[in-house]
Amino acid sequence: MSIAELRGQFPFYATANPCHYLDNAATSQIHRQALTAMAGQESCRANVHRSPYRLAEASSHAYGEARAQVARFVNAAAADEVVFTSGATAALNLVAYSFGETLQAGDEVLISAAEHHSNFVPWLRLRQRTGIRLRVLPLLPDGRIATASLAEMVTERCRLIAVTHCSNVTGAVTDVHAVVAAARAVGAKVLLDGAQQVQHGPVDVQKLGADFYAFSSHKCFGPTGVGVLWTRGGVLERLPPFLTGGGMVGLVSLETLSFASPPARFEAGTPPVAQAVGLGAAAAWMMTLPWAEVHRVESALLARLLDGLATFPTVRLIGPADLEARLPIVSFEVRGIHPHDVCQVLGEREVALRGGNHCAQPLFAALGSAGATRASIALYNDAADVDALLDGLEHALKVLS
Residues lying near ligand PLP in the complex (CB under 6 A): 25, 87-89, 116, 118, 164, 168, 193, 195-196, 216
Give the shortest CB-208-to-ligand PLP separation in angstroms: 16
List 19, 158, 220, 359, catalytic entry? 359
Sign of CA dihedral 281, 282, 287, 293: positive
First to last CA, the chain: 42
* Phi and psi at residue 332, to the nearest 5°: -150, 150
Q: Which of 19, 22, 8 is nearest to 302 (CA)?
A: 22
Peptide bond into 272 cis (omega under 30): no
Q: Which is nearer to ligand PLP, 300 or 359 (CB)?
A: 359
Q: Which is nearer to ligand PLP, 274 or 388 (CB)?
A: 274
- 359 assigned to active site: yes
Q: Which is nearer to ligand PLP, 163 or 397 (CB)?
A: 163
Q: Report the C-alpha gap between 119 and 361 in whole angstroms.
A: 12
Asked if residues 201 and 378 have their Cβ atoms less than 8 Å apart, the reply is no
The one-letter amino acid at 251: L
Q: Which is nearer to ligand PLP, 100 or 392 (CB)?
A: 100
Q: C-alpha 187: how far from its chain's center? A: 26
Residues in the chain: 401
The 10 Å Cβ neighbour count of residue 131 is: 12
Geometric angle at alpha carbon 71, from 165 and 85, rounded to 5°: 70
Coil, helix or strand at residue 107: coil
Q: Report the C-alpha gap between 327 and 322 in whole angstroms.
A: 10
Q: Which is nearer to ligand PLP, 87 or 223 (CB)?
A: 87
Give the shortest CB-342-to-ligand PLP separation in angstroms: 19
Give the shortest CB-168-to-ligand PLP separation in angstroms: 3
Give the shortest CB-340-to-ligand PLP separation in angstroms: 18
Q: Report the C-alpha gap between 209 and 204 in whole angstroms.
A: 9
Q: What residues contact residue 266 under an 8 Å CB cut-off, 6+ apart?
A: 83, 85, 94, 98, 229, 236, 241, 242, 243, 248
Strand pairing report for 372-376 and 329-334: antiparallel
Q: Which is nearer to ligand PLP, 87 or 339 (CB)?
A: 87
Q: Which is nearer to ligand PLP, 116 or 159 (CB)?
A: 116
Give the shortest CB-53-to-ligand PLP separation in angstroms: 34
Give the shortest CB-14-to-ligand PLP separation in angstroms: 25
Q: Report the C-alpha gap between 39 and 305 in whole angstroms.
A: 37
Outline where 232-338 has alpha helix (H): 273-286, 291-310
Give the shortest CB-360-to-ligand PLP separation in angstroms: 8
Give the shortest CB-164-to-ligand PLP separation in angstroms: 5
Burial of 5 (0-12, 13-18, 19+ CB in 10 A): exposed
Q: Which is nearer to ligand PLP, 318 or 396 (CB)?
A: 318
Would you name the residues annotated as active-site residues? 359
